[in-house]
A and B are shown apart, each in its own frame.
Chain A
Amino acid sequence: MPSIFGSLAKIPELRKRIVFTILMLGIYRIGVFVTCPGVDRGIVQKLMGTGGGLFSLFNMFSGGALRQMSVFALGIMPYISASIILQLMAVVVPAIERLQKEGEMGRRKITQYTRYGTVLLSMIQGMGIAFYLESLRSNLGEPVVAEPGWGFRVMTIISLTAGTAFIMWLGEQITERGIGNGISLIITAGIVAAFPDAVFSTVTFVEKGIMKPFTLFIIVVVAVLVVAVIIFFERGQRRIPVQYARRVVGRKMYGGQSTHLPLKVNTSGVIPPIFASSILMFPATLANFIDKPWMQDFQQALNPGSWAYMTIYVVLIVFFCYFYTAVTFNPIDVADNMKKYGGYIPGIRPGKQTAVYIDKVLTRITFGGALYVSAVCVLPTLMIQQFNVPFYYGGTSLLIVVGVSLDTVSQIETHLITRHYDGLTGPKGPRLRGRSRR
């Protein structure tokens, strides 16, 4: 699409922002290779190849930093946890709820609290990692940590907290002076960083004859298809037409867009599979700490890859899709809000009737969304088992990457639109530059 790059070249501000973002992400990636002080990196690497389950989930979110045991090991997760906790507290504690409604001053205060919470959480998690590191030994009995003790623990806590604070700052810089949402981009960058490695190992497999070239072809096709499906469903919306009866409709000489309420097919996003896999991995994590025989048997039954695992996984995903949608999207609130501003669905009374209608529609489309998410999440297991694909493709990481990419692209679009240039896509679908209709 030469036109985008042409446009990009012509808008200096956009160019500056994109360059800045890439720069910041670059700094982030470099920082991943800074090892935590007091830890022997070589031994860690030998060890980390065999981690499983929960560990790989964390590793994904830390962008591979956990494997390196770098200062960025905690990733941006403490920040996200802190903001979610604050959001939860806003529901419970009226003082915080009030802050939310107080405009700019209130928001700034909440951001401050979030930052404090991030530091606190980082310190706690840092302590956990310090303990964990101390207990690690390589296969040859070499300790990862040469000099354990409180000195090491304190140093680790400080390093990890500083690392997370730095990432937090990077994220905020990107949001302010770059493009897209900084935090999401950082997570995505971490996930995508594993990609070249995967490609490389796949190609090596083919070269060494472990994998047939035909299989490679299938893999590529499937990969593209899956991304297409994700984009299709993520953008998928059921649009409920809405009328407004507050202002007299001006005389318009030509037709226009109708106003509507967009209900996403996948309202809950990536949350359900993450919830589901976290729950499924809980036994495995426990098993690491509780050394009882029945624990091990239980863990074996739920081995990822077994049919039991995958079935329970799908059921949990569907359940959480509905659960999370129900928690975050309240049809009564939406209907009330519409009523307040004079909006209504033609033919349906505002208020309760509207809420019931919206709920009905949402329930139906969420089912489709849940099925799609399950399919995407089960895919990687299938691929690893049936096709010997040497990497983890699909599931939550792919959903995150595609979702964030879509968001970022539409933000770039906004910049393009506001500078005289036609957007890349619009409410009517992709458009070429210039007039293409009539």
Chain B
Amino acid sequence: MRRKTGLWTRIADRVNRFRGKTVERDLGAYARELERIDALARELDLQAASDRGLVSRAAELRRRARSGQSPDTLLPETYALAREAAARSLDLRLFEVQMIAALALHRGRLVEMQTGEGKTLAAVLPACLNALSGRGVHVLTFNDYLASRDAAWMRPVYARLGLEVASISEGMDAAARRSAYRADVTYLTAKEAGYDFLRESIVRHPQDAILRPRHFAIVDEADSILIDSARVPMVIAGCDDVPGDAQRTRLARLAGSLRPGEHFETDENRRNVYLTEAGAEEAERLLGSGDLHAPQNLGLLTRLNQALHARVLLERDVDYIVRDGRVEQVDEFTGRVHRDRHWPDGLQRAVEAKEGLCLADQGRVLNSITTQHFMRLYPKLSGMTGTALPADREFAEFYDLHTAIIPPNRPCIREDRPDVLFADLETKHAAVEREVRAARARGQPVLIGTSSVQESERLARRLRAAGIDCAVLNAANDEAEAAIVSEAGAPGAVTVSTNMAGRGTDIRLGGSDERSRERVVESGGLYVIGTNRHESRRIDRQLRGRAGRQGDPGVSRFFISLADPLMQRFGIGELIAPRRASRIEPGRPIQDPAVHRNVARVQNIIEGQNMDIRRTLWSYSAYAEEKRRAQHEARSRVLAAGEPGLLAGSRPDLHAALLAELGAVALAERERQIGLHFLDLGWSSFLAHLADIRESAYLNVVGSRDPLQIYLEHAAAAFEDMQAYVETSVAESLEAARASGPELDPNELRGPASTWTYLINDNPFEWQLSIASPRQIGAGAWAAVLAALFWFVPVGYKLGSLLRRGWRKRKSE
């Protein structure tokens, strides 16, 4: 890196920045900063300083930070100090590239650093720097296990600078969380941070608060958290005392008895299922319900649709697993199992009914926020990942994060071999098996990445049947799997995993202690086999990146088939010209480059579509987020000080009377309780309204109006209604309380009996987003066609006559 960034790179960067591009490759500025840090370190002679000396320097830095000095001023000394601390505590001296990354992180960049480059350690430096002022730094990790592991691992380094570090995991109670948040640096998952925020948003007493104001967050595996999972809303729901639903079990059975094609049909992407006329009649017959589409049967029809959806579109072991009497979703991107992901409203219960489980409580949504919006609540944000491109534009657009690409410490010598393409799954798996066998013979370790739990199980069974021993990871137990993954580099090891299992743990060649490193290096390094393309090239790169860390040799290769779920879903069959299709021989790899291009094209299309969906969802959720912030503010005011304005403004007479009767303190308390109660109820209803409006907004395409506009109009009206409702209800309630006496009935106003948090899998009804494109061409359009045609007539005529004349002239010469 000390080699200067090439001239072309610098020029290109400057031009790109002018054009609004968002990727930084010219790291010259950072290199210069690093030189200054090195110079300072030499000047202060840190390497020779005593431990006590370091500690006192750190204390001085903290003092300066708290007294108001900006982190930028303190940066050189802090980084130099931290580097020394790391060297002493962990015996790890930060590489140049790690220092550059640390500098970029402080500047609020998204850093792309390849796997194994030491992101965890690099993140410690900006965390220290920004924690000096005592305002707290959050490091958001990929899962709970990594949060506690990294916190424990880095604690000695932080300790040398006098900083406290803590971690938060799923089961911790409020008191433990509160003290964890008080630490200088807190390691936790983005999800837990979001949930804590949501829990905070419905507290009834100021002393229940556990969060400090947000300050700075460093997001690890940023592309997964900020892009892939970003649009998933985090939800906190309250139980509503709705008893379990026996009708659903009946409906589940009914749905099972309906026949495909005859009673119901699915759409081309298999995202929606609906009853045919015959199906509706059959259901009516079996249920004895009369016209299912009559207004009074709305609830019944809804539950039947959900039962149908659960039966037809959701498959056990692909979309979800059943464990401990509960339904747990499998994430489509990462293959992870999520205990706390629910399908929206009622679909979850339909799935539970289908599996014959005890139905969980149905709750009312109290508040929700998407990961996207939650991240934006941090005043300062930065991130790191092994794969930022090609999503860099999204990072810039949604999070204002510009990407900085950090070159690897040692150049990557991994060999990425070209894809092997088959016509069907069986041949593909057979080929994979052969490949694994060959690698085993060489003593080369193999890591196989599959796209679903189902496929990984299937492949593992096949390999074992062939006498090849393999370990299977499906992200069920992060800690155990981290141990398994760290051994995946041992000679002859075969590990089958879904995409995200074991992330964050380096695979060292020759086993976790590198005992057989020589042997593995000779056999060619780690061999990563992908069994299909993923929805984004980025995720493909993630998989490849597991091999070839720190200049190690390695190989990666993708084995794909035309029958893969992804290819099938997006209709690869139609893309391939029939004559080429007929030339495909089953049982042998497809060599035709045109077919390979088609496969790449499918992936491109899917990427574009996903980007579209994310963008559209962004526009729809932006409004809700604004309102949420407004609501949050109003609520905080009421929570803190029992704002008198709530009543005094709208009903001054009532206010005066109550003031006389109860006195200021009691009135304030009562206003606070009642205010919070109705604010929460109103907000919850507003969220329900938004969901309804969103569902039907697309119908306005028919009226050639932009659905988003209609949605916004209706949402604004709903919000106003909500405000009016809250005002009126508060006034009425206080009035009623006055009539019934000074004691408030505690039952009336309590919050929900229990609350729980979950993520909504908003996917199931792949929504109407794709068709919501209003016609852009308006008036006069067709006229232009006619006009153009009318021009053709005379022009053609004139040209014709000119040509004829010229021709005749030629002939006569």
Taking beta carbons and an 8 Å cutoff, which residues of A are in contact with B? Answer: 54, 57-58, 61, 77-78, 80-81, 83-85, 87, 98, 101-106, 121, 124-125, 127-128, 131-132, 181, 183-184, 187, 237, 242-257, 259-264, 269-271, 274-275, 278, 282, 285, 288-289, 324, 329, 334, 337-352, 396, 399-400, 403-404, 407, 410-411, 413-414, 417-418, 420, 422-423, 426-428, 435, 437-438
Bound together, the chains give a CA A346 to CA B298 distance in angstroms of 9
Contact of A342 among B305, B724, B792, B795 (CB under 8 A): B305
Bound together, the chains give a CA A184 to CA B775 distance in angstroms of 12
A422:B703 contact, CB within 8 angstroms: no
B717:A426 contact, CB within 8 angstroms: yes
Contact of B788 among A103, A106, A125 (CB under 8 A): A125
Bound together, the chains give a CA A326 to CA B306 distance in angstroms of 35
Taking beta carbons and an 8 Å cutoff, which residues of B are in contact with A? Answer: 240, 267, 272, 274-277, 280, 291, 293-295, 298-299, 301-306, 309, 344-347, 362, 364-365, 574-575, 604-605, 608-609, 611-612, 622-623, 626, 630, 681-682, 684-685, 687-689, 691-693, 695-696, 699-700, 702-706, 708-709, 712-714, 716-718, 720-725, 728-729, 765, 767-768, 770-771, 776-788, 790-795, 797-799
Contact of A104 among B291, B612, B687, B692 (CB under 8 A): B612
- Residue of B305, B700, B780, B784 ringed by the most chain A CB atoms within 10 A: B780
Nearest first, the 4 closest Cβ-Cβ pairs linking A and B are: A250-B688, A259-B696, A270-B779, A128-B795
B702:A259 contact, CB within 8 angstroms: no
B788:A245 contact, CB within 8 angstroms: no
A269:B778 contact, CB within 8 angstroms: yes
- Residue of B605, B721, B767, B779 ringed by the most chain A CB atoms within 10 A: B779
> Which residues does chain A contribute within 8 Å of B362, judged by CB atoms?
248
B721:A103 contact, CB within 8 angstroms: no
Closest to A100 in B: B773
Contact of B798 among A131, A252, A420, A428 (CB under 8 A): A131
A260:B699 contact, CB within 8 angstroms: yes
> Which residues does chain B contribute within 8 Å of A246, judged by CB atoms?
302, 305-306, 309, 695, 765
A348:B685 contact, CB within 8 angstroms: no
Min CB gap B161→A, angstroms: 43
- Residue of B689, B706, B718, B783 ringed by the most chain A CB atoms within 10 A: B783
Closest to B721 in A: A254
Given A250-B685, A251-B364, answer yes or no on A275-B778 (Cβ-Cβ < 8 Å).
no
Bound together, the chains give a CA A347 to CA B362 distance in angstroms of 29
Given contacts A61-B783, A410-B705, 4 further A-B contacts (CB under 8 A): A80-B780, A103-B611, A242-B699, A413-B713
Given A57-B787, A187-B779, A278-B787, answer yes or no on A346-B792 (Cβ-Cβ < 8 Å).
no
Closest to B291 in A: A347
> Which residues does chain B contribute within 8 Å of A102, judged by CB atoms?
605, 608-609
A244:B277 contact, CB within 8 angstroms: no
Task: Provide a sorted-by-A list of 29 A–B residue pairs whose CB atoms are within 8 angstroms.
Answer: A80-B784, A84-B777, A84-B782, A85-B785, A102-B605, A103-B611, A103-B612, A106-B605, A128-B794, A128-B798, A181-B776, A247-B347, A248-B299, A250-B687, A254-B722, A256-B692, A257-B717, A259-B699, A262-B699, A269-B778, A275-B782, A278-B790, A342-B765, A346-B295, A347-B295, A350-B293, A414-B712, A418-B622, A426-B713
B298:A245 contact, CB within 8 angstroms: yes
A259:B695 contact, CB within 8 angstroms: yes
> Which residues does chain B contribute within 8 Å of A417, judged by CB atoms?
623, 712-713, 716
Given A245-B298, A252-B689, answer yes or no on A410-B696 (Cβ-Cβ < 8 Å).
no
A396:B780 contact, CB within 8 angstroms: yes
> Which residues does chain A contribute within 8 Å of B696, judged by CB atoms?
242, 244, 259-260, 343
> Which residues does chain A contribute within 8 Å of B777, judged by CB atoms?
80, 83-84, 87, 183
Bound together, the chains give a CA A261 to CA B280 distance in angstroms of 23
> Which residues does chain A contribute within 8 Å of B780, judged by CB atoms?
61, 80, 187, 270-271, 274, 396, 400
Given A254-B725, A337-B771, A342-B305, answer yes or no on A414-B709 (Cβ-Cβ < 8 Å).
yes
> Which residues does chain B contribute within 8 Å of A243, judged by CB atoms?
295, 298
Contact of A437 among B622, B724, B770, B771 (CB under 8 A): B724
Bound together, the chains give a CA A331 to CA B280 distance in angstroms of 21
Bound together, the chains give a CA A371 to CA B365 distance in angstroms of 49
Min CB gap B21→A, angstroms: 17
B574:A346 contact, CB within 8 angstroms: no
A351:B345 contact, CB within 8 angstroms: no
Min CB gap B484→A, angstroms: 38
> Which residues does chain B contribute within 8 Å of A407, judged by CB atoms?
778
> Which residues does chain B contribute within 8 Å of A427, judged by CB atoms?
713-714, 717
Contact of B785 among A81, A105, A260, A341 (CB under 8 A): A81
Min CB gap B650→A, angstroms: 10
Bound together, the chains give a CA A18 to CA B304 distance in angstroms of 50
> Which residues does chain A contribute within 8 Å of B703, judged by CB atoms?
237, 262-264
B791:A84 contact, CB within 8 angstroms: no
A253:B301 contact, CB within 8 angstroms: no
> Which residues does chain A contribute within 8 Å of B240, judged by CB atoms?
251
Closest to B296 in A: A346
Bound together, the chains give a CA A55 to CA B797 distance in angstroms of 18
> Which residues does chain B contribute within 8 Å of A242, judged by CB atoms?
696, 699
A263:B778 contact, CB within 8 angstroms: no
Given A340-B272, A403-B779, A426-B717, answer yes or no on A98-B574 (Cβ-Cβ < 8 Å).
yes
A252:B688 contact, CB within 8 angstroms: yes
